[in-house]
Amino acid sequence: MPFDAPTPRTRINRLPKRGDYSQETIYGILDAAFICHVGFVVEGQPYVIPTSYGRAGDTLYLHGSAASRMLRTLAGGVDLCVTVTLLDGIVLARSAFHHSMNYRSVVILGKAAPVEGDAAKTEAMRVIVEQIVPGRWEHVRKPSAQELKATAVLSLPIDEASAKLRTGPPLDEEEDYALALWAGVLPLATRAGELIPDPRLHANAAQIPEHIERIRKRFGSAA
């Protein structure tokens, strides 16, 4: 795939110094998140739908109800755009104009294809579950034949992608640095709260599994 060599569609034109086309950066951002937004057009009407995803190698997997308009449309080979964004902070500048955000984002362009066969669909669903909570797949009941039939899974090759990032303090006009105004960055992060057990939790399942403890630590749980 053409990492480090942007296509005309993925080349960053606005603030190009923030662009990054390396596989390491793009995959690092994709692996740190689990929600994407999928953009596509149906009969001239644009849609942008949030959904979960999973990455395995050079492939992104999407899934949902077999009756989903989005998945049925994408399975037909229409052009799509997948975006993933991680918000790292609010940049508070001295001027209203230079307020910004620190972020890491990825845009993937291409066409998706249906994943066929129970074994392939099950593997793709494993990838998506593991993207959200690593280690979870081995602790849950696997999809039944009926559930697989009711689920559509798509694969999107990560062939045309770019990343864009902003880090650091505000970038004010030189004369504004003399203003007696507070400026800086307010860091932001997703935080884990207290676990809420299912009211119908089995009596023998009270102990919190290790993989859940790991993700609590990943998101900075204070518990």
Longest dimension (CA), the chain: 67
The pLDDT assigned to 15 comes to: 82
CA separation for the pair 147, 65 (Å, rounded): 10
Q: Which residues pair with 82 in a beta bridge?
A: 38, 108
- List the chain domain ranges: 16-189, 192-223
- Tell me the two tokens of residue 215: 């993700």
Residues of the chain with pLDDT under 70: 1-4, 221-223
The pLDDT assigned to 4 comes to: 66
| Nearest in space to 139 (alpha carbons), one of 96, 183, 202, 85 | 202
- Tell me the two tokens of residue 163: 């990343």
| Nearest in space to 158 (alpha carbons), one of 66, 46, 31, 71 | 31
The pLDDT assigned to 10 comes to: 84
The pLDDT assigned to 156 comes to: 97
CATH of 16-189, one of 3.40.50.970, 3.20.20.150, 2.60.40.680, 2.30.110.10: 2.30.110.10
| Nearest in space to 155 (alpha carbons), one of 108, 194, 189 | 108
